């Protein structure tokens, strides 16, 4: 297996001290980089493993924090934190830009070649970075077909891919339609993949704490969504090295804390 290195990084955002997980590929030269945004519960082992998997592929990867180092496994606490956040694009952008600055400042990062991939609330943050005009090569989201302030999607300067479960009650059909209408009106290069029969957070392995209604793991679609993320990165942010030792599986399929 390719040797990677990881470390914890602390940085300020949203009035908190955030604790991110940075994974670096083998070698010494600059590499394309990926921001990884977690579900509303916050940064956990699933996102850390995804960052590690991307580093094995040759990317610099930063799994960013949402809640100042906290993991909100209690649904009430998670909603109390995330609902106001999701209603405030400027706060989401602050969180995203703070993480983006950390990633750009990493010496192994090619600052001209960065993408953002997010899940749930982390995906909404990735989209807000795009609406704020961040210089990204791709934006990918899973169960985050959130809409923004009118007209600001025109600032998105890269392809956008979104994946969502057909039975997701949180990102329901009306929400998906509003998202695609926004992207189309703004002239964005967008794609939407609907995974048949999947619920919200279908990509995430089962957890040992309560969840909000409508959440459920779908193993086959979880692996397909990971492959779709990798296809997006291969198309828009290719690594100019042989990824022969990279994992073909979704690292999120292993159980662990994080949601």
Give the domains, in start order, of the chain with CATH numbers.
Answer: 5-253 (3.40.50.1820)
Looking at every residue in the chain, the average pLDDT score rounds to 93
Q: What is the pLDDT of residues 140-196, one digit of tens each?
A: 999 999 999 999 999 999 999 999 999 999 999 999 999 999 999 999 999 999 999
Structure tokens of 156? Answer: 């998105």
16/242: higher pLDDT = 16
pLDDT of amino acid 256: 34
161 versus 255: which is more confidently predicted?
A: 161
Element holding 23 (H helix, E strand): strand 16-24
| pLDDT band with cut points at 50, 70 and 90 for residue 240 | confident
> In this structure, what token pair is assigned to residue 114?
């960065």
**Model pLDDT for residues 11-66, shown as the tens digit of each residue:** 999 999 999 999 999 999 999 999 999 999 999 999 999 999 999 999 999 999 99
Separation of CA 71 from chain center: 16
DSSP of 71-133, one letter per residue?
Answer: ---SHHHHHHHHHHHHT-HHHHHHHHHHHHHHHHHSTTEEEEEEEEEEETHHHHHHHHHHHTT
Q: How confident is the model at residue 251 (pLDDT cuts 50, 70, 90)?
A: low
**Overall pTM surpassing 0.85 (yes/no):** yes
User: In the predicted model, what is the mean pLDDT of residues 125-152?
Assistant: 98
Angle at 27 between CA 22 and CA 30, to 5 degrees: 70
Q: Which residues of 229-244 are buried (b: 16+ CB within 10 A; e: fewer)?
A: bbebbeebbebeeebe
Phi, psi dihedrals of residue 122, rounded to the nearest 5°: -65, -30
Cα–Cα dist 20/8, whole Å: 6
């Amino acid at each position: 297996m390719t040797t990677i290195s990881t470390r914890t990084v602390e940085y300020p955002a949203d009035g908190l001290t955030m604790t991110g997980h940075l994974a670096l590929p083998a070698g010494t030269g600059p590499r394309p980089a990926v921001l990884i945004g977690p579900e509303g519960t916050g940064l956990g082992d699933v996102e850390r493993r995804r960052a590690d998997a991307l580093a094995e592929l040759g990317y610099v990867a930063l799994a960013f924090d949402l809640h100042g180092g906290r993991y909100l496994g209690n649904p009430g606490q998670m909603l109390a934190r995330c609902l106001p956040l999701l209603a405030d694009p400027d706060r989401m952008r602050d969180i995203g830009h703070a993480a983006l600055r950390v990633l750009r400042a990493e010496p192994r990062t090619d600052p001209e070649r960065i993408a953002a991939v997010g899940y749930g609330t982390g995906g909404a943050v990735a989209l807000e970075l795009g609406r704020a005009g961040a210089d990204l090569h791709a934006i990918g989201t899973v169960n985050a077909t959130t809409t923004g302030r009118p007209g600001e999607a025109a600032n998105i300067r890269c392809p956008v891919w979104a994946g969502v479960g057909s039975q997701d009650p949180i990102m329901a059909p009306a929400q998906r339609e509003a998202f695609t209408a926004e992207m189309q009106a703004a002239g964005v290069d967008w794609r939407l993949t609907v995974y048949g029969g999947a619920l919200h957070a279908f990509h995430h392995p089962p957890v040992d704490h309560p969840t909000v209604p409508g959440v459920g793991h779908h193993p086959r679609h979880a692996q397909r969504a990971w492959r779709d993320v990798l296809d997006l990165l291969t198309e828009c942010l290719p690594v100019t090295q042989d990824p022969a030792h990279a994992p073909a599986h979704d690292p999120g399929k292993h159980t662990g804390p994080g949601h």
